[in-house]
Structure 1
Amino acid sequence: MEQGTNSGFTLIELSIVLVIIGLLTGGILAGRDLIRAAELRGQIRQIEQYRTAVHTFKVRYDGLPGDVPGQNFGFAARSGTNCSGNNDGLLLSCFNYAAVPWAGSLNLGGEATLFWSDLAAASLITGAFSTSSGIVPNVQASQMASYLPAASLGGKHFIHVFSDGVVNFFALSQFTSTTGSSQFVVNYGLTAADALALDSKADDGLPVTGDIVSISSPVSVQLWNRPDPSGAAGLCSDGVSYNATNNNPRCSLRFAF
């Protein structure tokens, strides 16, 4: 009577299979990390390109895009007062200007909108952007690219500009729409690890100092201009360092220029 052959794997064969699986898994994870690192480097390059474009514009036109008197240079029409091309060096949205000029830092419109159309009209960036000089309410997600440039990082991130009354900033976040009062609806698309990587590559790696600062506080007109508060453990940072162990997207960043 013939003995049946054993068709199972030997321990050596199983070990080889496990090693191969481990190598493949490690390669996939390493590849994913390399791709993300490249995306983050690309985001830094984009911000630097915008900074260079702003500097070139300022030298050429003696003012900031959106803030210069448009009629003097053939740019989109603006009133030349307050938040519409008054050449005061601050990029403002016109929302609630009479009360607090920079209260509309989280709003779309005014010089913050003209900024991008002026840069494009000067051939310093690519794209076609709205020339609206007033506040811009009720913008839907599908329309956002007409007002703001998409971030190199992808993931529905855009770049917005605003001022805190002293300094101008680029803001990197997921700007999904605007309300009836032109205020942005924001999703925080960056993890703390991504925010830390961006900050470390281009600045000091700290969330509340330097040119790159975390602005992931609960979105409000009052807090958007300020770094994360101390002790905010559930946010992008605790006010001292990035909460790098928090894998949930809880971060937006601002870049001074």
Structure 2
Amino acid sequence: MTSIRTRSAAGHPDPSHPAAGPGITEDDRGFTLVEVAIALVVIALLVGTVLQAQGMVGNSRVQAFVSEVGAIRTAFSQFQERYGALPGDYQDGPILAMDAERGNGDGTLSGSGADQESLEAWRHLTAAQFLTNLKMSPGGTSAPSTPLGGQYQLVSATVGATSGVWLRIGSMTTGSTTGNSTPLLTVDQAHRLDVELDDGLPGTGSVVTSTAACQVTGSNIYNLAATDTCLVQVLM
């Protein structure tokens, strides 16, 4: 059968179907601009989907972290109400669990190293069934991990003008298995925690950051434009 080429009204070949040159087949002409544009749109959509999924995962981790800090605070309060003592400082710790140690009952979390009461507090809280989902270290020899990395540490301290037991959220100090004084949270993460559990201000209330770079200079406002990490402490 004879091949018929479409022609325009003027009798010329239809420009939308250009003829292949000498020795060039239809398959040799490569992609058209329309095809390239479609491919770029598809790639952009895929990249956008991946970034959106990553953002959702990041947000879910932060929300899990905020919820966990709230649960720790509640558990700490409930333990005191039931036993009349601080977890870790409770003198009848072995009643809670065979591997739980006795606290000295002085009203603070004291001691040092693996025997410090701030570590024993986690054993007391879990043995009393106030906390069940914390990521504890094997044998409870170091502080539990947070969903964002780093560790939780319970310390008796004075932060600002407020003395009490504070939950310090940071990364382990180099060479230590029990101290976590290295800043961990981004400014945005610290701010979200503060808004959820306190007044949303870095220098006041029951959620504070001791990292100056996380605040706007000369004011009690989080510096959300900063790229620094923050050491955050939460009053129990």
TM-score scaled to structure 2, two decimals? 0.72
Identify the match of residue 170 of structure 1 among 148, 153, 167. 167
More helix by share: 2
Residues 1:245 and 2:233 are matched in the alignment: no
**Aligned equivalents of 1:125 and 1:22: distance in 2?**
44
**Aligned equivalents of 1:187 and 1:58: distance in 2?**
29
Identify the match of residue 120 of structure 1 among 118, 121, 126. 126
What does 1:162-201 correspond to in 2, within 5 Å?
162-165=155-158, 166-179=163-176, 184=179, 186-201=181-196
Query: Structure 1 residues 61, 185: closer, same or farther in 2, change over 3 A?
Result: closer
Shift of 1:211: 2.1
Name the SS for the 2:131 alignment partner. Answer: coil
Shift of 1:68: 2.5
For 2:43, the equivalent position in structure 1 comes to 21
For 1:212, the equivalent position in structure 2 comes to 207
**Aligned equivalents of 2:39 and 2:231: distance in 1?**
43
Which runs of 5 or more structure 2 residues have no equivalent in the other structure? 1-20
What does 1:1-257 correspond to in 2, within 5 Å?
2-4=22-24, 5=26, 6-70=28-92, 73=95, 75-78=100-103, 80=104, 85-86=105-106, 88=107, 90-91=108-109, 93-94=110-111, 110-126=116-132, 146-153=141-148, 155=149, 157-165=150-158, 166-179=163-176, 184=179, 186-216=181-211, 228=212, 235-238=213-216, 240-248=220-228, 250-257=229-236
Using CA pairs under 8 Å that are at least 6 residues apart, name the structure with larger relative contact order, 1 or 2.
1
Shift of 1:38: 0.5
Asked if the contact 1:116/1:147 (under 8 Å) is kept, the reply is: no
Letter in 1 for 2:195: S
Shift of 1:205: 2.5
Letter in 1 for 2:124: D
**Aligned equivalents of 1:210 and 1:52: distance in 2?**
17
**Aligned equivalents of 1:122 and 1:59: distance in 2?**
12
Name the SS for the 1:69 alignment partner. Answer: coil
Q: Percent identity?
A: 27
Structure showing greater radius of gyration is 2
